[in-house]
Chains A and B, each alone.
Chain A
């Protein structure tokens, strides 16, 4: 941009001098080609400048909504955000997935231990080998040996969701069934 700026400054300087001194003005012969060239330059530069508006949004101060009371957080909304992040089938988000799985597993182990009136160790073993629930998707969520049911995988593929997301929801449903039965 620097050379272009220099050319621009020079052009303006020559123009000013030409306005003051007729001799210089007379030296620049306004042939048709020169005038056309100036016109083309004007249009090109003009369109370039005007184009700067295209990708820019107007910068306005946002005063917010002082009329509304500060909204309260809803318990679990942070978890919902985390779940939304792992919903897409793209790989990655390993840490989110692991953290969520651990958290759901803790709840599942507690629920199973209470439901079967067994120790936490026995409940953890049941959760890990998939025998804690009748739902195959929920069982596969914790059991690395068994695969998700074909129907779930097809559904996930068609809807653009991850198998993990379906497994997570199935596990939470299964826990809810146990909670409902034991509470």
Chain B
């Protein structure tokens, strides 16, 4: 941030202060820099970063030079990238109109008309005289909270100071709000004019949503005084917020019978110790007395042992569909199916960890995301972090291409042999359904959990709804558990489905 006093001096067009700012030779007095080359002025301001490094090399006056360099560090121009310069055509035809007036004046022998044509010529010259300046701005962006909770309002303040030598008669700044965030108060832009040394500040509020949100470069649009030429420049002022939702356990999902050898809560078809009756078998020496079927002994005289259904822990991988096609919603402004999937995966993650299962996270996405199954509090924190901020599960699609076979090969290589998969997908295309069947066919029992993003307002949407329903039916008929939820919450849908599902 620049010193306000310094800015005030500069705003009063104190030429010597400006010269000092652009020349990059801090050890020199104002008076020693009277011949600042005008031609270098524009470039000089842009080279202020180099200027600071020169300052540290200041011969003989290192201390003083370093001090002044530190003072000017706040005025370092923000890195910029020139995008394009265009003629706006605002004054297009003014020369023609002027010429036509002069011609008309000559034709009707009216000197006043010829003179009025001269006014038009003046405008034509005015339109061609200037050039859209390249802004040399020092941009700082600050946020009121860098780690907000979902739904919190975050105040963003952007300050742009003209640290260049040229005045900006028409400057529009449009901030690069992350695509996953919505502005709820105030436009994220400003239009102003900035003399050298002056600054503009604007504020707006965004509503925080899950994910790592990085601001895109700020766009500066400058025009010359006549508005005839326009230049677009981007200014890079890195800012980010990370919004990590708390994981709450919900949706106590019944798992399928693929388990580890460790004790847990998933009832298996293996007889042993447990609580639920499984079978009886012939008594073997060493069987505990309390498991002997004494009724049978009394009835038949034979010794037999009651086997109970063993309850074991499972290894579960939560697979979230985050391909570009999964970023769909019933309404363009609604939460996408990826958000619904990630929220449900978070609930399942907590519930499964609490139940003693080993849980991992993966994304069906062009970007790699893999958290190996594990348990414990550290793993819980890692899972929360992965679900909240992994780039593969970002709130907006990455735009990269997804290669299904490559992804499947890599996923199978990583997947532990005894892992079952909870696949969160909106099922809006055949790829998701095919993958679910292929993973299931490889012995990793799959449960498909599908947020419903479809609507029935138009013919195309109705057709998509029918197709999705058919995919669900096909999966169920292939022996894959499938559950969908729309307006209901995920735990409610799970509770309803649990009653239907057999083990």
Contact = CB atoms under 8 A, between A and B. Distances in A.
Interface in A70-119: 70-83, 103-104, 107, 110-111, 114
B98 interface: yes
A164 B189 CA distance: 48
A66 B177 contact: yes
A14 B467 CA distance: 79
B239 interface: no
A39 B329 contact: no
Contacts of B221: 61, 63
Contacts, number: 191
Contacts of B4: none
Contact of B463 (A49, A61, A107, A183): A107
Contact of B88 (A35, A48, A59, A79): A59
Given A38-B106, A46-B96, A63-B219, A74 B455 contact: yes
A66 B466 contact: no
B92 interface: yes
Interface stretch (B280-288, B330-338, B434-442, B484-492): B330-338
Contacts of A179: 466, 469
Interface centre among A36, A38, A70 (most CB of B within 10 A): A70
B182 A68 contact: yes
B466 A175 contact: yes
B182 A69 contact: yes
Nearest to A176: B462
Given A66-B174, A67-B188, A111-B466, A73 B327 contact: yes
A22 interface: no
Given A46-B103, A75-B328, A58 B88 contact: yes
A39 B104 CA distance: 6
B188 A76 contact: no
Interface in B435-458: 453-456, 458
A159 interface: no
Contacts of B97: 46, 49-50
B333 A71 contact: yes
B454 A75 contact: yes
B243 to A, nearest CB: 13
Contacts of B182: 67-69
A31 to B, nearest CB: 13
A2 interface: no
Interface string A41-66: 11111111111110011111101101
Contact of B328 (A40, A52, A68, A73): A73
Interface in B241-300: none
A13 B445 CA distance: 89
B60 interface: no
A123 interface: no
Interface residues of A, number: 57
A183 B89 CA distance: 61
B332 A67 contact: no
Contacts of B328: 72-75
B355 interface: no
A74 B108 CA distance: 65
B305 to A, nearest CB: 46
A79 B460 contact: yes
A168 interface: yes
Contacts of A49: 93, 95-97, 99-100
Contacts of A66: 174-177, 183, 188-189, 216
B302 to A, nearest CB: 49
Contact of A47 (B100, B333, B428, B469): B100
Contacts of A82: 460
B6 interface: no
A53 B89 CA distance: 8
Contacts of A56: 89, 92
A175 B460 CA distance: 13
A172 interface: yes
B118 to A, nearest CB: 13
Contacts of A70: 179-180, 396
B459 interface: yes
B107 A40 contact: yes
Contact of A76 (B109, B331, B454, B470): B454
Interface of B: 84, 86-90, 92-93, 95-109, 172, 174-177, 179-183, 187-189, 204, 209, 216, 219, 221, 230, 232, 327-336, 396, 426, 428, 453-456, 458-470, 473
Given A42-B107, A46-B98, A66-B175, 13 more contacts: A43-B107, A46-B96, A46-B103, A52-B92, A59-B86, A60-B88, A69-B209, A70-B179, A72-B327, A73-B327, A75-B455, A76-B463, A114-B473
For the complex of A and B, the 6 pairs showing the least CB-CB separation, nearest first, are A42-B103, A49-B96, A46-B100, A79-B460, A39-B107, A76-B461
26 contacts: A42-B106, A46-B101, A47-B96, A48-B96, A49-B95, A51-B93, A60-B88, A61-B221, A63-B219, A66-B183, A68-B182, A69-B181, A71-B333, A72-B332, A72-B333, A73-B328, A76-B465, A77-B460, A78-B460, A79-B463, A80-B458, A111-B466, A175-B466, A179-B466, A179-B469, A183-B469
